[in-house]
Amino acid sequence: MSGPAPEALAEPSQRAGRAWTAALSLGNGAIWAGWYGPLQILLALQAAQLAPPGTAKESVLAWVTGAGAVVSMVANPLFGALSDRTASRFGRRTPWIAAGAAGGAGALVLLAGAGSVGMMVLGWCLVQLTLNAAFAAITAAVPDRVPRRQRGAVGGWLGAAQILGVVAGTGLATVAGTVAAGYLACAGFVVLGTLPYVLARREAVLPAERRPELSLRALVAGFWISPRRHPDLGWAWLTRFLINLGNALALLYLLYYLRDVLHRPDPGGGVLVLTAVNGVTLLGTVVVGGFWSDRVGRRQPFVLWAGVIMTVATGLLAGWQTWPGALCAAALLGVGFGVFTSVDFALMTQVLPAAAHRGKDLGVINIANALPQVAAPALAAPVVHHLGGYRMLYALAAAVGLVGALLVRRIRGVA
Per residue in 349-397, pLDDT tens? 888 877 667 788 888 887 887 788 778 888 888 888 888 888 999 999 9
Contacts of 144 (CB under 8 A, 6+ apart): 8, 12, 92, 93, 203, 204, 358
Q: Identify whether 9 is part of a domain.
A: no
334 within domain boundaries: yes
Task: Identify which of 345, 370, 360 has the alpha carbon closest to the alpha carbon of residue 136.
Answer: 360
Q: Which of 11-15, 91-95, 127-131 has the lowest mean pLDDT?
A: 11-15
Domain that holds residue 191: 15-204+214-410
pTM: 0.79
Q: How far is CA 223 from CA 29, 36, 75, 348, 357, in A?
A: 27, 26, 11, 16, 11
Contact 58, 185 (CB under 8 A): no
Total tally of structural domains belonging to the chain: 1
Q: What is the pLDDT of residues 203-217, one digit of tens each?
A: 878 877 777 666 667
- Residue 292 to residues 37, 46, 142, 268: CA-CA distances in angstroms? 31, 42, 18, 36
Q: Is pLDDT above 90 for 307?
A: yes
Q: Closest by alpha carbon to 41, among 177, 133, 149?
A: 177
Residue 41 belongs to some domain of the structure: yes
Q: Tell me, yes or no, whether 95 lies in a domain.
A: yes
CATH of the domain at 170: 1.20.1250.20
Decide if 339 is inside a domain: yes
pLDDT at 265 over 90: no
